[in-house]
Amino acid sequence: MRLALYEPDIPQNTGAVMRLCSCFAVPLEIIEPCGFVLSDSRMKRAGMDYMQHLDLTRHRNWQEFYADTRKHGRRIILLSTKADCFYTDFSFRPGDILLGGRESVGVPDDVHADADARITIPMAAHARSLNLTQSCSIVLAEALRQTGLFPRHGRVVRS
């Protein structure tokens, strides 16, 4: 299981996602360009000392990321407010990459089309979207639960 961020805009969110990935021993992939310098102090503050344990891969652009996923046979699962499938109805696999879009605009149509699946989080009718970190946390927890990949006491325990 991996998590990827498409051209993230907000360093604090990226730092919080880095911390999330570190705590769950999930590799993070960042698809550039970012809307900030990746060494931004706000991002480091949000990631705290967890970043030293993070398995981070940076991709120069979408094409490089996409080629890498295909080379390794991974599915790209896009978290999107435009999807029809609820994340709770989706069957995750251990090699999946959960993809979060830019906080400001999501992902372009070609990235949406390239995804192997698109999932959404059910919300109240008046709600537009959740924060990127919240969305990643909710879906990643379900994916780890389904695949038995939650780390427990420093090791991964399969259910």
Express each pLDDT in 137-150 by its tens digit: 999 999 999 999 99
- For the chain, list the domains and their CATH numbers: 2-156 (3.40.1280.10)
Please state the pTM of the whole predicted model.
Answer: 0.90
Express each pLDDT in 77-135 by its tens digit: 999 999 999 999 999 999 999 999 998 889 999 999 999 999 999 999 999 889 999 99
Q: What angle do CA 119, 33, 11 make, to 5 degrees?
A: 75
Question: In angstroms, rounded to a whole number, what is the distance separating the alpha carbons of residues 87 and 123?
Answer: 12
Dihedral angle computed from the Cα positions of residues 64, 65, 68 and 72, in that order, rounded to the nearest 10 degrees:
-170
Q: How confident is the model at residue 152 (pLDDT cuts 50, 70, 90)?
A: confident
Residue 72 burial by CB count (10 A; 0-12/13-18/19+): exposed, middle or buried?
exposed
